Amino acid sequence: MFENLTLTPGADPSPKTIRGISGGPLPASDVAGRPETATGPCLGFVDTQPDHILTLTAPFEFLSLQVQSAEDTTLVVKGPGGSWCNDNYLSLNPGIAGQWLPGRYEIWIGSHRNNGYFPYVIRVLQQPE
């Protein structure tokens, strides 16, 4: 597991970044428990354990996770209310934005190739850009 993050609405609204390496041996759809979610398809391959834990101390009216990588990555998030996946939110980079419930979110960053490993940065924004 790489860096974790705890956020409280309004406490420090500046964008946050966490870093890691994408990929792993498991199909993302196995981790998400389905092939597609409301936010996109569950594609690629991820680690057996989450790459990051995001803890939200209260509800967020708006929160955005945007993955930035030189390679084509995928995203799986599991937390209060279910699982969400995404592949191409901004160009080839995945992301999820909207309202978030308080609680613990497990985050996996995947690669399209089995055991393809690529560096990435996740930008977490509390306000729309």
Domain count for the chain, please give it. 1
pLDDT of 1 reads 67
What's the domain range around 64? 5-125
> What mean pLDDT do residues 1-27 have?
92
| CATH number of residue 68's parent domain | 2.60.120.380
3-state secondary structure of 103: strand
* Nearest C-alpha neighbor of 94 from the set 107, 85, 105: 85
* Distance set, CA 36 to CA 18, 30, 33, 121 (Å): 25, 11, 9, 24
- pLDDT higher than 90, residue 60: yes
pLDDT in tens, 82-119: 999 999 998 889 999 999 999 999 999 999 989 889 99
Q: Which residues contact 129 (CB under 8 A, 6 or more apart)?
A: 64
Residues facing residue 98 across a β-bridge: 63
Q: How far apart (Å, rounded) are the C-alpha atoms in residues 75 and 127?
A: 20
